[in-house]
Amino acid sequence: MTACSPARTAGRLLTGEFTLADGRRAVPVFQLLTERYRSPEYSPEAVSARCGVAAQKIRRIAAELAHVAFERAIVHPQPWTDCGGRRHESMIGRPVAMHAMRGISAHSNGFHTCRALHLLQMLLGAIDCPGGFRYEAPFPRPCPAAPKPAGKTSAPGQPLDGMPLGHPCGPEDLLVDAAGGPLRIDKAYSWEAPLAAHGLMHMVIRNAWAGDPYPIDTLFLYMTNLSWNSAMNTADTTGMLTDKRADGEYRIPRIIYSDAFFSEMVAFADLVLPDTTYLERWDCISLLDRPISTADGPADSIRRPVLKPDRDVRPFQDVLIELGAKLDLPGFVARDGSPLYEDYADYLVRHERKPGIGSLAGWRGRDGGSDGVGEPNPGQLDKYIENQCFWKYELPPEQRYFKHANRDYLETAKRFGFIEKAEPIVLQIYCEPLQRFRLAARGHGAVQPPDAHRGRIETYFDPLPIWYVPFSEAAVDGQTFPLHAVTQRPMPMYHSWHSQNAWLRQILSHNRLYVNRARAAELGLDDEDWVWVVSHHSRLKCQIRLMEGVNPDTVWTWNAIGKRAGAWNLSADAPESTRGFLLNHLIAELLPAASTVRYANCDPVTGQAAWYDLRVRIEKALPDQAGNAEPQFPAVSRLPNMASPPGIVRDARMDPGAPGGGR
Amino acid sequence: MHPALSIIFFTTSSGVGYGLLAWIGLLAPIGALPLTRQFGAVSLLLALGCITAGLLSSTLHLGHPERAWRAISQWRSSWLSREGVAAIATYVPALTFAGLWLFDARNGGWAVCGWLAAAGSIVTVICTAMIYRSLKPIRQWYNRWVIPNYLMLAAMTGALWLTAVLAALDVLRPAATALAAAFVLAAAAVKLAYWRSIDQNSAGSTLASATGLPPGRPIRPLDPPHTEENYLLREMGYRIARRHAAKLRRIALGGGFFVPLILLALAWLLRGAAASAVLALVAAVAATAGVVVERWLFFAEATHTVALYYRGEAGSSVR
Amino acid sequence: MTSLPAPQPGAKKLGLVIDLDTCVGCHACVVSCKEWNAFGETGPLPEFGPYQAEPWGVWLNRVHTFEVGDGEDGRTVYFPKNCYHCEEPDCVTVCPTGASYKRAEDGIVLVDAALCIGCKLCSWACPYGAREFDEDGGVMKKCTLCVDRIYDENLPEGDRIPACVAACPTSARHFGDLGDASSAVSKLVAERGGCDSMPEMGYRPVSKYLPPRSIRPTRVRDERSEHKTAGGNGFLQWIDRVLSR
């Protein structure tokens, strides 16, 4: 087969050590792979007890993966051309697909576990092939992708000189001061979390409270319930938000918060900017962010207002655009200082990130005849509305697979602005940017980590995937806290605000802790028992449900069902608060003190919050403790003039207080 | 099943009324009862009053009581409709019977009306019982003892009220007292047989048959479709603690059967004295109260197959 | 009339076929059903205490979650449940007013809200809990198989299916004529051993369930499952062999 002829040559170069023409020595990555993963440390026997899967079964699964990928390959009779210009008569599918979402990345070893999974996909050839993992536009992109995080030259009172989030390629891209200390309030892109591509939002309140790296006067938050289900720890965060200095001033003096709902966070705000709901505003699910693309082509969508707000609210995006203009921020004011955009709908249509590329990719160009790239089209939103609020571009069949190495696709991707050049996207087994950080830690280069962080950078910036015990798990006694505790999002209720939906609330108005049936029997626990769940940091009380389908060493519950009493305009005796609970009552923001530096409880590479590193034990509650969840916080007091919820909803369309849908 | 007070009152009260009407309609034409206008007026007023109050009460649990008249249309298929038809039809001979009696026009037609009213009463009680007896999803009702149970309890309470009226207006008649005592014993026997039957037979339907999942493996409910009680659970998922049920059965047996029997015996011993009338009345009241408890249990102990989906078994009691 | 229509050979029997193998328990069918029917001919489907301590409301479709088997054999089964439009439904025959009826032309079981007196007897007579009482309107509500959708010629033909079927993201719900042995749904039932819920009740549900398939591990050639102990080169040789294929 043509496709494999380069590999045939490569096959002979996989092993050993080579001397390059310039005299340097080189070792193929497969040699490194072999040495590492064939070591006893990574043998099925070594990991079997830890993951609760018998060594024999691990072998069987591995053999199944290989068998299916190589013996049961499927042939899709679709000719295509690779990036080397070679034509193939068909597409070879390796029908092995893996599903992983946020669970893995919610561990402090998550980055490397994700890399390990990806490595396995690469070895199996199950990358963007029929039956395998498939890219969705705007991906694949070269790694690391542009741009780099802005903020090196940031100063108080001055606008940032670029995008706040980005992808550092080496130590020189970090946002650190001369002493190696963090520049950002969340310490993202510092030596504590160098590749923090998502920022460390969960650490902002603690850092602001501690004045570390500096105090702030105003905290401005939008639609993130940072005192409750988005807090690493509810009680700690509540304490920090209300803590005062010796002079009587709050440690975080001013809090501005925008939310469409009366979430737990609202109670802490000095200024509330009431937002509209999804039904009352324009929104954009853009290819520049997290679009609705499928593997068969790029797609994006909008939400449009279908209800007129019946209360004094404004879409927060409109507010941001107006604030941007009032603050004279670049991109929001014209040369004469006048506002550039009327509102968010106007911004969606006219804002261009690069010439021809804006928030929406459909119906671009003056006449709306251009896909992906083109001049702003004043009638663009109408076109979206005509097409049920979405745009989709169907890739021609020959471009739908092997996108990283598919010549025609790469040209399409360049045309749409997904990539700069129509060049093959190299999948990195050996991750060079990681090695750059490691070399810095080993004393190479101009930008090196402060000594306190040196060891950590060297250990965790391994260019090949590694596994290590998650930090907070390693820091506590496994006998005392023998269980992992994790959450998952219920399918019908994705977010905490879904308890505002009178329908969804009936499906799930309180949560239980799910415990493996056999494990519960060992612990003397029965279905529906009330238990204390104890972490090294704090404890909570909840009701359990026994099930078979959970690992005996793991307990889990639904995410974000538990509410603070009185919040969300639910009655104070609502089951969400009397019986619902959050694992966030137990998680610690910081790792237990073990070294000179008190690190955040997150991944050392990406700074991703390690929600799932939680270790607990469960103890049966006393009989007189049954019936209500703990901890209970004082009920949130109602805002003045807040309407009481209706006692009966006959027709959700008629009752704006009860969003439920309509047609 | 949720014990709705309006239905408990309805079946108890109409049971008393039809029982009493049946006894009067059967016994008066053969001269076994006093034929005074006073006795006719009081006893028939009591019977028809209980029937009418019961029927009116039965409309209280309807979502649309004003449409209740529609319920007589589907007598071809529906026992509830048949009950309505029978109840209305029974009024015709019963009211004629009462009218002829009160206007001293007792003749052959009067006797026939009495017997027709008695027959209508029995048919109506059977229709009421069949409403429950025909419901396959509720095994405690889809039971051969349900019809004897309803008939016997109606006959018993009717006989006890007849005895009480006789004692108050006339004298305690040995035959009527013996009749009442006999039906107390018979009804108690039927009730015990019913309880024995529902305690022994187990549900034919299981979660395996409901889901079609292979029966060899355990099937357990993991999560319900909703976390709070809905209509199905409120209406058909009603549960009563086993120990409460046992206690209530003892109360129903004691109040409904044992106490009336003792009181009847006492009344018999004291016959002629004013106290005997009081004792007979208390016996009737106690039996009726016992039937209210029995009827409450008839609902509370009944389990519906819909509970299978929530609890894995239809008949599980509260721990 | 609450008497059942006389069975006609070859009569249309519309119903659902629900695949318990592919249902993932997302409740999309539940919410979609509510959305369509709350505002259609069946509505309203009211909510009681929607933001209070014991919220409840009228729904025509529910998803239960069960667990089958123990230990490693245990598996979670999601079980969507709405009216099966039975061939011999006692819920129809017990109705005293004629509000409940079964259509002769397609077998759909409906409630005429204008005739319903709200006696609840039909909900007692249904073994499956498919009928829910609207306490606010005083009438019984049930699945109509989206009768106001499946025959609506104003809708594109592909949309003339029940809302629950249209919403299912895993295509676990199928709609069609189970009276026609050659229909796609009938074939599916035949192929997959589709079954009735509580056949012992004798109601003869039209809608069927397809049981979960048993999981068989992939048969792997023995040599592949054996652990090579020849050291690094064995692995490399294997990669070489694979890449050279």
The ipTM of this complex is: 0.94
Lowest mean pLDDT among A128-132, A511-515, A642-646: A642-646
Chain A CB within 8 Å of residue B218 CB: no
Asked whether residue A401 falls in the same domain as residue A365, the answer is: no
Q: Summarize pLDDT for A516-554 with one digit per residue, the tens.
A: 999 999 999 999 999 999 999 999 999 999 999 999 999
Residues of C whose CB is below 8 A from B131: 94, 121
Instruction: Give the helix/strand (H/E) hosting A354.
Output: strand A352-354
The region, left, alpha or beta by phi > 0 then psi within -120 to 50, assigned to residue A54 is beta
Q: Is the pLDDT of residue A630 over 80?
A: yes
Mean pLDDT confidence for A282-288: 95
Name all chains with 3 or more CB-CB pairs below 8 Å to chain B.
A, C
- Cβ atoms within 10 A of the Cβ of A178, count? 5
Check C94 against B78: CB less than 8 A apart: yes
Amino acid, res. A534: V
Q: Is the pLDDT of residue C128 over 90?
A: yes
Domain C-terminal end among A366, A394, A422:
A394
Reading the block at residue A118, the tokens are 């990806």
Q: Summarize pLDDT for C86-100 with one digit per residue, the tens.
A: 999 999 999 999 999
Q: Is the pLDDT of residue C3 over 70?
A: yes
Mean pLDDT confidence for B207-216: 89
Nearest CB neighbour to C44, from listed A7, A569, A651: A651
Q: Which residue has the higher pLDDT, A658 or B276?
A: B276
Q: Is the pLDDT of residue A17 over 80?
A: yes
Check A575 against B227: CB less than 8 A apart: yes
Asked whether residue A491 falls in the same domain as residue A389, the answer is: no
Q: Is the pLDDT of residue A4 over 50?
A: no
Chain A CB within 8 Å of residue B104 CB: no
Q: Summarize pLDDT for A421-477 with one digit per residue, the tens.
A: 999 999 999 999 999 999 999 999 999 999 999 999 999 999 999 999 999 999 999
**By the 8 A CB rule, do A545 and A528 touch?**
yes
Nearest CB neighbour to C70, from listed B136, B218, B226: B218
Q: Is the pLDDT of residue B317 over 50?
A: no
Strand C208-210 and strand C14-19: the pairing is: parallel
pLDDT score for C161: 98
Mean pLDDT confidence for B276-302: 96
Q: Is the pLDDT of residue C81 over 70?
A: yes
The CA-atom distances, in angstroms, between A663 and each of A350, C35, C160 are 30, 8, 16
Asked whether residue A441 falls in the same domain as residue A533, the answer is: no
CA atoms within 13 A on the CB side of A613: 31
Reading the block at residue A496, the tokens are 């905490």
Q: Is the pLDDT of residue C169 over 90?
A: yes
pLDDT score for A157: 84
Check C198 against B228: CB less than 8 A apart: no
Mean pLDDT confidence for C59-76: 93
DSSP single-letter state for residue C65: E
Instruction: Label residue C218 by pLDDT band (50, 70, 90).
Output: low
pLDDT score for C12: 96
CA distance A641 to C143: 40
Domain-by-domain residue ranges, chain C?
14-210
Residues of B whose CB is below 8 A from A545: 222-223
Sheet holding B219-223, edge to edge: B219-223, C62-68, C75-81
Q: Summarize pLDDT for A201-232 with one digit per residue, the tens.
A: 999 999 999 999 999 999 999 988 999 999 99
Mean pLDDT confidence for C60-68: 97
Q: Is the pLDDT of residue A482 over 80?
A: yes
Instruction: Give the helix/strand (H/E) hosting A271.
Output: strand A271-274
CA distance A398 to A411: 12
CA distance C15 to A141: 47
CA distance C127 to C142: 14
Asked whether residue A429 falls in the same domain as residue A563, the answer is: no
CA distance C197 to B211: 6
Reading the block at residue A172, the tokens are 């020189």
Name all chains with 3 or more CB-CB pairs below 8 Å to chain A.
B, C
Q: What are phi and psi of A485, to 5 degrees?
A: -130, 125
pLDDT score for A295: 95
Locate the chain C residue with the closest alpha carbon to A575. C53
Domain-by-domain residue ranges, chain B?
1-134, 172-319
E strands present in A517-600: 530-534, 539-547, 554-558
Asked whether residue A485 falls in the same domain as residue A504, the answer is: yes
Locate the chain C residue with the closest alpha carbon to A500. C51
**By the 8 A CB rule, do B25 and B114 touch?**
yes
Report, in angstroms and rounded to the nearest whole number, the Rg of chain A calculated over CA atoms. 27
CA distance C187 to C170: 19
Instruction: Label residue B305 by pLDDT band (50, 70, 90).
Output: very high
Q: Is the pLDDT of residue A1 over 50?
A: no
Chain A CB within 8 Å of residue C38 CB: yes
Nearest CB neighbour to C233, from listed A15, A504, A569: A15
Instruction: Give the helix/strand (H/E) hosting A615.
Output: strand A615-620
Reading the block at residue A543, the tokens are 């009701």
Chain B CB within 8 Å of residue A507 CB: yes
The CA-atom distances, in angstroms, between B174 and each of B25, B165, B178, B180, B267 are 19, 14, 6, 10, 10
CA distance B226 to chain A (A): 4
Asked whether residue A289 falls in the same domain as residue A366, the answer is: yes
Name all chains with 3 or more CB-CB pairs below 8 Å to chain C.
A, B
pLDDT score for C215: 66
Q: Is the pLDDT of residue A652 over 60?
A: no
Q: Summarize pLDDT for A390-426 with one digit per residue, the tens.
A: 999 999 999 999 999 999 999 999 999 999 999 999 9
Chain B CB within 8 Å of residue C70 CB: yes
Report yes or no on A217 lying in a domain: no
Instruction: Label residue C230 by pLDDT band (50, 70, 90).
Output: very low
Q: Is the pLDDT of residue A654 over 60?
A: no
Chain B CB within 8 Å of residue C142 CB: no
Q: Residue A555: which CATH number?
A: 2.40.40.20
Check C35 against A574: CB less than 8 A apart: no
pLDDT score for A657: 44
- Cβ atoms within 10 A of the Cβ of A273, count? 17
Instruction: Give the helix/strand (H/E) hosting C16.
Output: strand C14-19
Contacts of A440 (CB under 8 A, 6+ apart): A170, A171, A447, A448, A449, A457
Asked if CATH classification 1.20.1250.20 holds for the domain at C14-210, the reply, yes or no, is: no
Q: Summarize pLDDT for B166-177 with one digit per residue, the tens.
A: 999 877 788 889
What 3-state DSSP class applies to C187?
A: helix
Q: What are phi and psi of A51, to 5 degrees?
A: -100, 0
Percent of chain C with pLDDT over 90: 79
Q: Is the bond preceding C55 in cis, omega lying within 30 degrees of 0?
A: no
Asked whether residue A649 falls in the same domain as residue A621, the answer is: yes
pLDDT score for A661: 33
The region, left, alpha or beta by phi > 0 then psi within -120 to 50, assigned to residue A282 is beta
Lowest mean pLDDT among A18-22, A320-324, B88-92: A18-22
**Chain-centre distance for alpha carbon B47:** 14
Mean pLDDT confidence for A188-202: 95
pLDDT score for C243: 54
CA distance B282 to B289: 10
Q: Summarize pLDDT for A115-134 with one digit per residue, the tens.
A: 999 999 999 999 999 999 99
**By the 8 A CB rule, do A144 and A170 touch?**
no
Mean pLDDT confidence for A88-112: 93
Q: List the one residue out of A496, A485, A452, A431 whose CA is nearest residue A618.
A: A485
Residues of C whose CB is below 8 A from B6: none
